[in-house]
């Protein structure tokens, strides 16, 4: 009797464990049927069982299409049955994703971040006026803050203006500007103030001190 015990480690690998071993055995049985008519009949019955086992998929678009795809996947694409949908290919299923390209708009000044370059590109599309000027100086001040985060020493405004001129392809020129950017101490103070506000405050328990003594 002990010799007839079947361990999971000796059983066939479950391709989609959510459906269980019995359904996989049903599909293996359908693969061995001699006629296509029988295979089609059993395949449709298996699809109904799969639908009952996964009722949450009924709200998914192309519910039946998904079930038929899973049927062929469990059958290791060896079930010769007629499907109302194109059978997926094994190569398509096992194909790996294409590598994603890392966005690098200006690798020379990475400490500014990609968002700065996006803001500069948007500023270039604005018409000249007070709004554009305000945006440009906001960008310049933020660039100065980013620079100070990377280099704790002070930085002169002309350095930021030169970088802004370069990153904007010469379209934003503040080199002759007489308006100063925010001073380094103010920018770093605001950063420290914001960081301290994020720390949780622990309220001291003063109930014992305020309690009356009798």
* Averaged pLDDT, groups of 10, the chain, 214 residues long: 66 87 92 94 94 82 89 92 88 80 68 86 92 93 89 84 91 88 76 53 50 45
- When computed from its CA atoms, the radius of gyration of the chain, rounded to whole angstroms, is 34
The CA distance from 15 to 18, in Å, is 9
Give the residue among 56, 53, 32 at the shortest CA–CA distance from 42. Answer: 32
CB 140 within 8 A of CB 174: yes
Torsion of CA 163, 168, 170, 172, to 10 degrees: -90
137: Cα separation from own chain's centroid: 32
Report pLDDT for 196: 52
The CA distance from 40 to 211, in Å, is 83
Task: Tell me the backbone φ, ψ of residue 10, rounded to 5 degrees.
Answer: -95, -10
CB 58 within 8 A of CB 51: yes
Report pLDDT for 27: 93
What angle is formed at CA 189 by the lines to CA 188 and CA 190, rounded to 5 degrees? 90
The CA distance from 80 to 77, in Å, is 8
Report pLDDT for 99: 82
Task: Tell me the backbone φ, ψ of residue 94, rounded to 5 degrees.
Answer: -90, -5
Residue given tokens 């194109």 in the structure block: 86
Please report the sign of the dihedral spanned by the C-alpha atoms of residue 9, residue 13, residue 19, residue 21: negative
Give the residue among 151, 97, 16 at the shortest CA–CA distance from 27. Answer: 16
Report pLDDT for 68: 93
């Amino acid at each position: 009797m002990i010799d007839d015990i079947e361990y999971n480690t000796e059983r066939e690998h479950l391709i989609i464990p959510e459906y269980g071993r019995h359904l996989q055995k049903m599909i293996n049985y359908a693969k061995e049927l001699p006629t296509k008519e029988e295979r089609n009949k059993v395949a449709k019955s298996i699809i109904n069982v799969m639908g009952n086992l996964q009722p949450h998929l009924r709200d998914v678009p192309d519910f039946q299409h998904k079930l038929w795809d899973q049927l062929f996947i469990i059958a290791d694409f060896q079930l010769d049955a007629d499907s109302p949908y194109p059978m997926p290919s094994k190569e398509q299923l096992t194909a790996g994703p294409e590598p994603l390209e890392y966005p690098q708009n200006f690798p020379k000044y990475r400490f500014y971040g990609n968002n700065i370059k996006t803001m500069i590109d948007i500023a270039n599309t604005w018409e000249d006026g007070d709004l554009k000027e305000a945006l440009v100086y906001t960008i310049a001040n933020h660039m100065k803050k980013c620079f100070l985060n990377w280099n704790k020493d002070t930085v002169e405004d002309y350095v930021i203006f030169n970088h802004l001129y370069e990153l904007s392809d010469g379209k934003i020129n503040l080199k002759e500007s007489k308006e100063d950017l925010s001073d380094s101490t103010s920018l770093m103070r605001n950063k420290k103030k914001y960081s301290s506000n994020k720390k949780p405050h622990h309220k001291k328990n003063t109930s014992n001190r305020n309690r009356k003594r009798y």
